[in-house]
Structure 1
Amino acid sequence: MKKKLIIGLIAGAGIYAAVKYQKVKESLNELSIKISGISNLKASFTQIRFNLSFVIHNPTNTHIGINTYKLLSLKQIKFYNKTNNAYLGTANVNFSNIQIPAKQTLEIKEVPTALPVKNILSNLALFKGNIEENLLIKLQFESLGKQFELIA
């Protein structure tokens, strides 16, 4: 009897995790991202460093993230030129316990970012006009061992 109860609990936890995984996967496709600020801009001959702040909006009815289980984590932020899809650089982060409530916005502030100057120089057109319109940002999330990408 005890053995059946333990097996039942493990099976129940597995089913719960599978359902939660599917909901998170569907909700991640609906998220939107917007740059809210760039600060501490420093340039050298090899790289441009700055702190990036951005907001992620969850328009769905699904609360994303469970604080106690560390279900969702942000691993990388990749930058591209939106017009030619040229790679600019990556910010490696490890934010866990990310919670994005349903119909709400999460602000992530001051993410240290460094982009190689050679990538920026080959994409100078990126800085003509509004950089937000020309910059493509991909957020790399991980949930239950699977990776998802949010494109802004």
Structure 2
Amino acid sequence: MLTSVISFCFVVLFLAPQFYILSRPKSSRYCEKPLLSNLIVFIVFSFIATGLAVALTLTDPVPKSIRVAFHSFGLFAFIQGLCTLILTLTAPQCANTTTELYIFSLVVSWGSILSTVFFLVRGSLCLIHKLFPDWLRDTCLWG
């Protein structure tokens, strides 16, 4: 029950600004880059992420199909973040015509960069732990 409430809060926190920007009449103004289409794809990805989060919290032994879907979604989300970063960097003129949309794209781009760095560090540490399981234990000064 608690995980459902927490998931609902995260959905509201992440989707509310996206729908607000989508509903703004200023967001439909002309911009050379397809930032509005990118926002719609990001909304779809948010719904998929919500579904995966619910599926992961409700299943105790996670089936292989859900794990494959989760990792595939992670790869596609990385590609989407990369596309958002490229679109945002090549569309500085959109900051004047669609301000909210451009700022949201900047925030999503920075979030994508930070999450990529986080998962690269986490993946590297996991790989080091798999390859050298006693490495951190042997170098520990206090134990």
Q: Same fold judged by TM-score > 0.5?
A: no
Q: Which has the higher helix share?
A: 2
Q: Which has the higher strand share?
A: 1
